[in-house]
């Protein structure tokens, strides 16, 4: 959840052909799936009122948040 950073924008480790940092973390944790709810330009208010209310977010075992 969060903004473009949470979405993986500017992630130099992805190289364009591997998942963003959240995908790499999910892989290392052995997660079969992960979902990026982040949106570019999102602020904390957007996370609280839109991303946290998403049904997928409410059933997550782990949530990663980065927002400005």
Q: In Å, what is the CA distance from 25 to each residue of 8, 40, 44, 46?
A: 12, 20, 22, 24
* Reported pTM: 0.63
Asked if 68 contacts 3 with a C-beta cutoff of 8 angstroms, the reply is yes
Q: What is the pLDDT of residues 8-54, one digit of tens each?
A: 777 766 555 556 777 788 888 887 677 888 888 999 998 888 888 88
With vertex at residue 64, the alpha carbon angle to CA 58 and CA 65, rounded to the nearest 5 degrees, is 95
pLDDT of residue 68: 76
């Amino acid at each position: 959840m969060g903004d473009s950073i949470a979405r993986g924008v500017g992630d130099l480790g992805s190289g364009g052909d591997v998942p963003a940092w959240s995908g790499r973390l999910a892989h290392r944790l052995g997660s079969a799936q992960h979902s990026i709810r982040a949106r570019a330009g999102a602020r904390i208010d957007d996370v609280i009122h839109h991303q946290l209310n998403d049904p997928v977010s409410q059933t997550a075992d782990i949530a990663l948040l980065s927002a400005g």
